[in-house]
Amino acid sequence: MAQIQFCERTEKDVASNYRGELIGSVIATFVLRALTELAGIKSTHTYEIFCDNMGVVRHGNNVYRPLSESQAQADLLTLLRRNILVSKLKVTYLHVYGHLDDNTSFSKLSLPQQLNVMADKLARDHLLEQVALRTTWGSTYPHEPVRIWLSQKKITSSFRQAIYTDWGAQVAMRLFARRRIVHRYWFPRIAWEFVSRAMARYPQMFRVWVTKQVSGFNGLNRQLSRIQSDVVNECPCCGHKDESTSHLTRCTNPSRRKVFQQSVDKLLDWLEDTGCDVRIVECFEAYFLQYGEAAMVEIASDHPHLSRWAMEVDTLGWDNLVEGRIGYELLDIQARLLTEKGSSRHIKSWATELIQHLLGLSHRQWIYQNACTHIRVLEGKSESEHDSIMEQVGKLLLTDPEMLLPQHRRLLDIDFEQLGSGTTANRQYWLAELESAISAFQHINARVITNGSING
C-alpha cells in the first residue's frame, strides 16, 4: 500500500482541520493527475475518493460550481478542482465517518473506514515528527493557477478581506506608534486575532467605546475641557489634574479603587477556574495592586519560566494590558497547560475571554466615573430618595454583559448624558428594565443547570 506524507507550515489565521483535510484531498487528486499526464492512462472507470469532511466531499463533487469571494481555503479548493478537471477522469467523493475505531473494533470496520483510521494515525504521527524536526513545507503547490501574496503572506481566502485587513493593520500600526501606544516592533506581537474575537462578542456601542478609549477620545475631562469652557480638566472623583484615558484605571478615589479591585478579583477567580498557572495568577494580583507602578519582571523574578512573559507585559505596559492588548507569551504558556491537563477548553476561547475580562477593568471604571459625573439630583426628590436611586444605578451600571441574555445587552449601551439630564422616572424605568433582564438570565440559567438544556 502506497503512502504519501506531507506537512504544511500554515499561518495561524489560516490553519484549520478543514485545510488539513483539503491538503490530503489535493495530494490524492495530484496522483490522479499524474496518472493521466505522465502515464497516459485513459479510463471510463469512476475513481472513488473517501473523506471524513463533508465540506471537501461537497466541493469535490461540484467542480463546476463557482466559489464565493469569501470562500475559506480557496487556494486549495481551486487546485483540487483543477486537478480533477485536468485529469479528465471520473471522480466521485464519498463521505466516511471519522474516528469510528473509538467505539468499534478495527477488524469490524469496512475497508474505507479502516483506511481512514490508518490515514488519521499516519497524519498525526507525521505531523508530530515534522514539528519536532522542523522540516515543514510552505503553502505553495505545483500547478496553482495563481498565487497572490500580501505582506509576505499568501492569500488563501477572500482577496477583499485580506487587503482590507492588511491595510487596516498598517494604518493602526502607524497610529499606535505615533501616539506611543505600541511600538512598531511590538505591534505584530499582540494577539490581534483574539482582540477581534472578543470585540465581535460585544454590541456596537461597546465597540465604539473601546475605539474612543484607545484613541483618547472617550469623553473624559481632558477632551471635554477642549470643547466646553465650563469643564475643568480634572478627575471628578479624586481631583487629579488632567483626566486622561490613562488616569481611568489609576484613579486614587477609594470607591473607584474598590470597584477596580472587585473587577480584578473577578479576573483572578476566572484565571484560577480555567486552570491558569497559579504563579501567573499571583503575579497578576501583585501587579494590579500596584496600579502600573511596579515592574512585572521584578514581581515574577522568582519564576524563571515566566521571564519572557513578564518582559512582554512590561514592554507593552499597563494601559495595553487593561485595554485587552496582550502578547503571545502568556497564550503559549496557557496553551501548553491546557494540553498537559487534557482540558476541553481551547486556547482561542480562553484568550478571547481573558481579553473580555481585561477590557472589563477599564470599562467598569468608565461606567463608574460617568455615573458620578452625570447622574444629578432633579425634580425635587428628597436627598435620600436620590441617593437610593443613585446607588442602585451605580450598582447596575457595573453589570457584566455576560450576565444578560443577548437581546437585553442593549440596556448597557446607554447615553450617560441623557440618563443624567433626563427625568428620574426614566432612570427608574431603566432600573426596572435592567433588573427584569437580570432576573430573566438567572431564571434561564437555573433551568439550564437543573435540566441540562433550555426548554422551549
* Span 250-262, pLDDT tens digits: 999 998 999 899 9
Do 316 and 325 form a contact (C-beta atoms < 8 A)?
yes
Rounded Cα–Cα distance for residues 256 and 253 (Å): 5
- For 141-148, the CB contacts below 8 A with 24+ separation are 141/26, 141/76, 141/79, 142/30, 143/33, 143/79, 143/82, 143/83, 143/86, 144/75, 144/78, 144/79, 145/78, 145/79, 145/82, 147/75
- Lowest model confidence (mean pLDDT) among 98-102, 149-153, 371-375: 371-375
Range ranked top by mean pLDDT from 8-17, 224-233, 352-361, 372-381: 352-361
Contacts of 274 (CB under 8 A, 6+ apart): 345, 350, 353
pLDDT surpassing 60 at residue 240: yes
Query: Cell numbers of 206, please?
Result: 461597546
DSSP 66: P
Cα angle 308, 311, 151 (rounded to 5 degrees) comes to: 80
Backbone angles phi, psi at 240, to 5 degrees: -60, 130
- The 10 Å Cβ neighbour count of residue 450 is 9
% of the chain with per-residue pLDDT over 70: 87
pLDDT digits over 176-192, tens only? 999 999 999 999 999 99
Helix (H) or strand (E) holding 356: helix 347-374
